[in-house]
Amino acid sequence: MSPLEPFGTRLRHAMDERGPLCVGIDPHASLLSAWGLNDDIAGLERFTRTVVEALAGTVAVFKPQSAFFERFGSRGVAVLEKAVEELRAAGALVVMDAKRGDIGSTMAAYAETFLHKDSPLFSDALTVSPYLGYGSLKPAVDLARENGAGLFVLALTSNPEGAEVQHAVREDGRTVGATILGHLAAENAGAAPLGSFGAVVGATLGDLSSYDLAVNGPLLAPGIGAQGATPADLPGVFGAAVRNVVPSVSRGVLRNGPDVGGLRDSAARFADEIRAAVEAA
């Protein structure tokens, strides 16, 4: 596929071929320790290399958490750059979990870091925050379109603190979260088989039938595994939009390392359970 083919198209193909699973790469200190690794650059490199070698050829999507690499400075970012390159070379898609959000030239610079095809951190998609106003994301939207990339916009997150903003009701009677979803539906109008501009919607939120999740784009759904949600919960949370869900599992898979076989078996099991739940919906 051409690198400029829209992210939504590439994502649909990847999930159909490899299974609807996103594995988060979150090398936080406690997980490094659980793997018997030191919380230093050598531990970070070993952890990341093991995940990439074990799963890059079979999992559809990976979501590196940028903060856990940035905390080691430039050497940590170099590890992240190499992981992004190797994951994409193996045919996987990379969603950079950086949750960037700003205005004007600063937002444009963030976009160039992760969404410009010539950047060493070029990713297939980027998580972004719309809470300086959805319009502040325009530089990222424009550059994503230009480079065949996508965005996942924070809309209905699973952290308890998110509700005070996302469930707040505007003067027009819609919640802030619903407003974000409406913007995304507009971005994806007419796209097929799937738009490139998605929402982050927590899999732990329960019944979301009061929200219109039919944005014709992907719904990145953290919370499967260690946070308590299960693949069987997905149809009840996402309803008719469940086929467009990209369920993200981090600790549920990573806690099975550093054994390569354990990582592969866990990822395959989650992918199979998610596919079965979606097909049964």
Let me know the angle formed at the C-alpha of 49 by 47 and 51, rounded to the nearest 5 degrees.
70
Phi-psi category of 245—alpha, beta or left, where left has phi over 0 and alpha has psi -120 to 50? beta
The rounded distance, in Å, linking the Cα atoms of 146 and 131 is: 24
Residue pair 201/214 in contact (Cβ under 8 Å)? The answer is no
- Judge whether 99 counts as a catalytic residue: yes
Burial class (CB within 10 angstroms; exposed 0-12, middle 13-18, buried 19+) of 126: buried
The structure tokens listed for 255 are 């806690």
Q: How far apart are CA 126 and CA 63, in angstroms?
A: 9
Q: DSSP characters for 217-256?
A: S-EEEE-BSTTSB-GGGHHHHHGGGGGGEEEEESHHHHTT
Phi, psi of 216 (to 5 degrees): 55, 30
- Selecting among 63, 82, 99, 117, the annotated active-site residue is 99
Q: Are 123 and 96 in contact (CB under 8 A)?
A: yes
Q: Which tokens belong to 59?
A: 């999992």
Q: How far apart are CA 96 and CA 98, in angstroms?
A: 6
List, by residue number, the catalytic residues: 99
